[in-house]
Structure 1
Amino acid sequence: MADDQSKIERIAKTIKSFPDFPKPGILFKDIFPLLHDPAVFSDLVDVMTNNVRQLNVDVVIGLDARGFLFGPIIAYQLNIPFVPIRKKGKLPGPTMAVEYKLEYGSDIFEAQLQSIKEGQRVVIVDDLLATGGTMSAACELVEKMKGNIVECLVIIELNDLNGRSKITGKVHSLVQC
């Protein structure tokens, strides 16, 4: 939509960059200014919700932690469930887990059992796609739970890190850097 394109341009202009954070050589993309400006935050919610509405999904999944900022709002707007995927030990009750590799070591993502039903159409939401490790792990977990991933939706994609190549399904990013 043309209207969504102008909103995406305002979103892109609001994202701040911080060189050498959290360590030298990293150019950190800060999404928090999007939350500081209610008009731009409204644009972001509109664009993300419009995108997900067209996908006809049953569940919105948000990744720990910044996916929790946007996923529940989208789910609320569409009147569908929100499911968090969290790091190990953060969710009560029975969970399903998947281990994934990090630059130095590994970590574990979990989701509560029965939070995704077999065959449900899901969208996975996060703020950033960098190397693709966490999004790939989330996809693996959803597939393990027999969910059908329709799309992985992120605000920012860092093209140079080629994280998209680790994702087997469709990736939609609002802003590419």
Structure 2
Amino acid sequence: MSRIFGAVCQNGNVVRDIRAAMNHWVNVMGVGPWYYIDKVKTDYFRHRGQDSAMEMSVALANSGDLQIELIQQRNDAPSMYKEFLDSGREGLQHMSYWTRDYQALYDRALSLSYKVGHEGQIGGEKGRFAYFDTQAHPGTVVEISDISGSKGSFFEHIRKVAAGWDGADPIREVGGR
């Protein structure tokens, strides 16, 4: 439990081949089903304060209460994902903390001298997210994500389905969110 952000809700992995990563998690780790979004539609995306035309695919599944996220960036636009891959790494890139009071947590992080590496919004104002540039070693980037809107109910659906998953239909394509 983080004294600042609360409980870790998601481990985010940046990968070069999202299909291969989903197959690994299904066939080797037994985790699924995966909800796959080929082209995530962001309302905006900024990297280090500048607009970026970053494009990505995302897959989400749960192992118990912990959500596993796979991200494959689809272009060379600036992002912390690209920086991570360009440094020769792949795998765990961030831990995500979820909140229904996004602005208060965002403001608190800034007041504690956290710096935004990249941030964006998916599906309206209640779909904001920010990644703070906290990486001291791989996997330590902190993300906060607003779950007060439809994203929260989607994440809860994924958790519930995973709890009773029998191995059928391991990859489920979802329209862009």
TM-score of the two chains, using structure 2 as the length reference: 0.25
More helix, by proportion: 1
| Structure with more contact order per residue of length (Cα contacts < 8 Å, sep ≥ 6) | 2
TM-score of the two chains, using structure 1 as the length reference: 0.25
